[in-house]
Structure 1
C-alpha cells in the first residue's frame, strides 16, 4: 500500500511538473528568448536548459528546507515573485532594444506610380553571423533557476504536507523537475513553429512575432509587479 501511494504521489508530481511548465510567466520568458534565435535545435535547448535550471534550484532549496526544517518566509517568496516579474520586463525590453538596434523601420517608395511602404533593416542579413547556441545555454539555465526560486515556496508546502522524509521529498522534487523539463522541451519546440514559419514568410511577419513576444513579456511582467506590489489585494 505504501509503495502504491508513493507511486501515485510521484506520478501526480510528474504531471504537475508538466502542467507547471504551462504557466504564463514561463511561456513569456521562453518565447522571448526563442524569438531572438529561431530554430528547432535552439528551441529544444532553450526548453531543456530552462527546465534543468528550474529543477536545480528546486532541489537546492528543497534540500535546505527539508534538512533544516525551516519554512520559506512569505516576504522572501513575494520578493522572488517580484524578481520574476522584473525579469520578464528585462527580457522583453532586451528584445525590443535588439530590434531597435537592428534599425527596423518603414521605407516609403513609389512603384509603378503607386506608393509602397515596407519594413526594412540595415543590419539584418541572411548571412549575418550568430554565436553558437551552446554558448548561450547559460541564459535559459539562469532564467529557469530564477523561476525555480519563485516557485519553490508553493512546492515546499506540498512536500511538507505529503512526504514523510527528506529522501521522499527530494525524490518528489526530482520527478516534478523531470516533468517540468519535459514540458518545457515540448513547449520550446511548439513555440518555435510560429517563429520559424514567420521568418520563412518574410521579415515583416518575423518582426511582428518578435514584437509580440517582447510586448507580451513586458506586459505580463508589469502586471505581475502591479499585482504583487501595488494591488490592494496583493497576492
Structure 2
C-alpha cells in the first residue's frame, strides 16, 4: 500500500475516532457520569478516562486479532452490543438511585450573620462527593470498546496488509476517540456546572431526562441484538 493511501486511511481513522464518540450510547453513558459533577474540569477528565478505557479494549483486541490471526465470529458482536446495553441500564439505574437518595449534591444549611442585628439565611450548598468517577469512566469505556472493536479490527485487517500500519490505525482511532469523548464530556457537563446547578428544578429535569433516555436506549440495544 502506497504512502498516500495509508495517510488517507490514517486520517480516516482519526475522523472515525472523533465521530465515534458522538454515537448515542456513548453520549448517554457519559452524560449520566458527568451529571454527577458540578465543575467542568472533573467532567473533562471523566471523558479522558472513558476514551482511555475504550482505546485499551480496542488495542488489546486488535493486537490479539492482528498478531495471532484470531477471527471473532460476527454473532459475537451482537452479544458485545447487548453487554453495552446492559451496562447502560445499570449506569442509568444507579444514577437514578443516587438522585432519588437526594444526598449527593444538595445540602441546606442555616447560617447566622451579624450585621446591625442577627439575620438567618438559608443557603443551598453544592458538594461534589462520592466514588472515584474516573475509574468508573474507564470501566464504562472499556466495556464500550468490546462492542465496536471487533468490527473496527476486521475493517483494518481487510484494508491494510502491514501489521505495523494496522496497529498505527488502531492507535490513531484511539486518539480520535479520546479527543472526541473529552469534548463530549466537557460540553455535556456545562448544564451541570455551578452556574446552573443551584436550580433544583432544572437539575431534576436534566438528570431524569438523561437517565430515562439511557435506560430506554439500553433496553432497545438488548432487544435489537438478542431478541429482534
Partners in 1 of 2:37 and 2:126 — Cα distance? 14
- Give the C-alpha shift of residue 167 in structure 1: 1.3
Task: Give the TM-score normalised by structure 1.
Answer: 0.84
Residue aligning to 1:84: 84
Partners in 1 of 2:216 and 2:128 — Cα distance? 31
Residue aligning to 1:174: 171
Task: Give the TM-score normalised by structure 2.
Answer: 0.87
Partners in 2 of 1:161 and 1:23 — Cα distance? 24
2:187 is aligned with 1:184: no
Q: Deviations over 1:118-174 (max 9, x none)?
A: xx9889x6154615x8x3311100110101111012101210111112211110000
The gaps in structure 2 that reach 5 residues or longer are 110-123
Residues paired across the two proteins, number: 213
Partners in 1 of 2:144 and 2:38 — Cα distance? 23
Alpha carbons 2:40, 2:186 under 8 Å: kept: yes
Residue aligning to 1:126: 125
Give the 3 Å change call, closer, same or farther, for CA 128–225 of structure 1 in structure 2.
same
Residue aligning to 1:114: none
The gaps in structure 1 that reach 5 residues or longer are 105-119
Residue aligning to 1:146: 143
Displaced runs of 4+ in structure 1, greater than 6 A? 120-123
Give the 3 Å change call, closer, same or farther, for CA 177–82 of structure 1 in structure 2.
same
Q: 1:218 pairs with 192, 215, 221, which one?
A: 215
Q: Note the aligned Cα RMSD (angstroms).
A: 2.3
Residue aligning to 1:32: 32
- Give the C-alpha shift of residue 62 in structure 1: 0.2
Alpha carbons 2:33, 2:133 under 8 Å: kept: no
Residue aligning to 2:54: 54
Partners in 2 of 1:222 and 1:38 — Cα distance? 29
